[in-house]
């Protein structure tokens, strides 16, 4: 297995510690997906230690099937970076939602040599977002039912008003005709 043409030294430990405290994973990998550097928070997202991941895992080992490496690779190669959310797989086989931003690493001659990125587990955020969408759909459905009920109520009140007003008006008109002697009372 050939070593990468160029790979920057690992970031300072203090930077990795800060990212760990913020709950942000950090990694560097070569073009073949071999992970050369990952912080403790990033490794924990996958249910492993940094040492275990660096000992032989590749970025593709954590794919859940919804991730298209080629699309991301082309974007990073042409634009220099990519930001995306996808489903990833932990070492135990369970899936989680990850939000990532990665950038291109170049060798000394300016050739594309690998990736560097930050990521975080946004599974709970995604669940809350889906719950909000579901609740919003329920509110919209309830609002539509209320509008329909309001329309029915308006129609019913209009009909009742007509039905309640009509008999007294008829009786009043008949009484007036009786008093004027235009209708025979018998």
Q: Rounded CA gap, 59 and 69, in Å?
A: 10
Q: Rounded CA gap, 116 and 149, in Å?
A: 57
Q: Where are the alpha helices (DSSP H) in the chain?
A: 13-22, 40-45, 50-54, 69-79, 123-179
40-72 pLDDT per residue, tens: 999 999 999 999 999 988 888 787 776 677 888
On whether the CB atoms of residues 37 and 26 are closer than 8 A, the answer is: yes
pTM: 0.68
118-150 pLDDT per residue, tens: 999 999 999 999 999 999 999 999 999 999 998
- The residue among 182 and 151 whose pLDDT is bigger is 151
Beta-carbon contacts of 66 under 8 Å, excluding residues fewer than 6 positions away, are: 86, 87
Q: Give me 121's structure tokens.
A: 């587990």
**pLDDT score recorded for residue 26:** 95
**pLDDT score recorded for residue 103:** 94
**pLDDT score recorded for residue 66:** 66
Q: Rounded CA gap, 103 and 76, in Å?
A: 6
């Amino acid at each position: 297995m050939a070593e990468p043409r160029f790979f920057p030294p690992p970031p300072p430990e203090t930077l990795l510690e800060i990212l760990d405290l913020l709950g942000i994973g950090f990694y560097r990998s070569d073009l073949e997906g071999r992970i050369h550097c990952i912080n403790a928070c990033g490794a924990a997202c996958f249910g492993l230690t940094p040492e275990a991941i660096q000992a032989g895992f590749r970025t593709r080992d954590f794919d859940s099937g919804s991730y298209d490496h080629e699309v991301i690779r082309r974007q990073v190669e042409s634009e220099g970076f990519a930001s995306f959310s996808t489903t990833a797989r932990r070492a135990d086989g369970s899936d989680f939602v990850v939000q990532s931003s990665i950038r291109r690493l170049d060798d000394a001659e300016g050739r594309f040599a690998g990736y560097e990125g930050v990521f975080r587990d946004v599974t709970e955020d995604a669940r809350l977002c889906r719950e909000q969408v579901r609740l919003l759909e329920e509110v919209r459905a309830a609002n539509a039912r209320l509008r329909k009920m309001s329309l029915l109520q308006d129609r019913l009140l209009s009909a009742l008003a007509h039905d309640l007003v009509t008999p007294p008006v008829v009786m009043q008109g008949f009484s007036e005709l009786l008093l004027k002697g235009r209708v025979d009372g018998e």
